[in-house]
Amino acid sequence: MSGRTRIALAAVVAALSLAVAVAPASAGKTGPNNVNAKKCQSYQDWVDANGNAFQSSAACAAYAAKGGQLVAKPFGLSISPESHFFLPDQGDSVEVTVTNTGGVANSAPLAVSERGDTLGEFTLQSDNCTGKTLAPGGTCTFTVHNGQSAACNTAGPTFYDVTVNGTVYASMDVGAEIVC
């Protein structure tokens, strides 16, 4: 082997040794930073220790890399539509969608209840929410029917509340008008 070959070979060995020496210690491990990095892929489901939402997965990962604690976004519900006013030419029922907007499932089954309808103008039909537990992003539906008599009046407001253990998380108001 010539002197040049030995020098080239020594340079290659030195470069490989250096590459191994500076390789990250966490490569291939499943430590807390790697777990948090996976959590940050769905950054919408997490908040920081002060309850602030992350605007991107990069912001979440940067916070976690500095040792910040990721907290599951608290349970929350949205309802759509938030209100509905029945008019004579709009049909006699409306389907309502409830969505879990939080980062965790509800701790107890949902319940849908009516309040404010003292005359019985509206009825709850096809309730697919009561008794349900919704995962984050999960949905359920219920239908409100306008059962108002033909008397000339304006009905409502009536509210349909979606609750967990008696706490209202979402509410929809309903009204109606009968033209005579």
The whole-number average pLDDT for the span 48-52 is: 88
At 54-85, the pLDDT tens digits run: 999 999 999 998 889 898 888 889 999 988 88
The least confident of 25-29, 139-143, 155-159 is 25-29
The pLDDT, as a whole number, for residue 4 is 55
Tell me the average pLDDT across 142-171. Answer: 76
pLDDT, tens digit (0-9, with 9 covering 90-100), for 7-30: 444 444 444 443 333 334 444 445
Radius of gyration of the chain from its Cα atoms, rounded to whole angstroms: 29
Determine the pLDDT at residue 1: 57
Query: Does the pLDDT of residue 133 top 80, yes or no?
Result: yes
Model pLDDT, residue 119 = 60
What is d(CA 86, CA 8) in angstroms, rounded to the nearest whole number? Answer: 85
Q: Which residues lie closer than 8 Å to 155 by C-beta, 6 or more apart?
A: 86, 117, 119, 121, 122, 146, 148, 175, 176, 177, 178
Check pLDDT > 70 for residue 155: no
Q: Which of 137, 123, 112 is nearest to 45 (CA)?
A: 137
Contact 37, 60 (CB under 8 A): no
Region 137-146: mean pLDDT is 91
pTM over 0.75? The answer is no
Domain boundaries in the chain? 3-72, 77-177
Write down the mean pLDDT value for the chain.
76
Q: Flag whether pLDDT at 31 surpasses 90.
A: no
Predicted local confidence at residue 95, as pLDDT: 92
Average pLDDT of 104-116? 87
Tell whether domain 77-177 is in CATH 2.60.40.10. Answer: yes
Give residue 44's pLDDT: 82
Handedness of CA 18, 22, 25, 27 (dihedral sign): negative
Instruction: For 36, list phi and psi in degrees, rounded to 5.
Output: -65, -35
